[in-house]
Amino acid sequence: MAGHLRRWQVVCSVFCLALGACSGTSVGSYHGPVQCAPYARQVSGINLRGRAAGWWWAARGHYQLSHRPQPGSVLVFRASSRIPDGHVSVVRRIRTRRRIEVDHANWVGGRIERGVPVEDVSPRGDWSAVRVWWAPVGSMGRRVYPTYGFILPMR
């Protein structure tokens, strides 16, 4: 069992190094979950740091901000009691005017998830409030999360 665990830790470490998306203070650490901000930075190329909720303000003057999703853009969730540091997800695909798919990390147990449905439930259709697919129950989550909008990657 110990050998199996060690092999799994090595695999996780290599994966984490390849992504540059490890948690903790040192690059390559396989202890703890993959965090959303380093993962989004690596996948999107948007070079922002700090708490996920702070990305919206940090992007001003450096990246274009929008209330419409585009593939490769980063959806920035506001800090709330459920997600005190906010959250960031990378838009993978636009499905409809009010539904997208995202890739993100640490929404469920520190894992990376790809192609996750997110739907706009804001009254004005401006993506200021969303619901996110909740994999443990296999359906859209019941909670509504406030968001700032999308940071668009440089072209």
User: Of 33, 32, 28, 31, which is closest to residue 16 (Cα–Cα)?
Assistant: 28
List of residues 6+ apart from 148 with CB closer than 8 A: 53, 56, 65, 76, 77, 78, 128
Number of domains in the chain: 2
The model's pTM is 0.80
Number of C-alpha atoms within 13 angstroms, CB side, residue 82?
Answer: 13
Q: 24 and 60 share a domain?
A: no
Q: What is the pLDDT of residues 86-122, one digit of tens each?
A: 999 999 999 999 999 999 999 998 899 999 999 999 9
Q: Compute the distance between CA of residue 20 and CA of residue 4 in angstroms, rounded to an integer.
A: 24
Clarify whether residues 28 and 83 are in a common domain: no
Place of tokens 């697919």: 133
pLDDT of residue 33: 77
Segment (H or E) for 42: helix 36-44
Which domain covers residue 94, as residue numbers? 33-152
Indicate if 28 and 40 belong to the same structural domain.
Answer: no
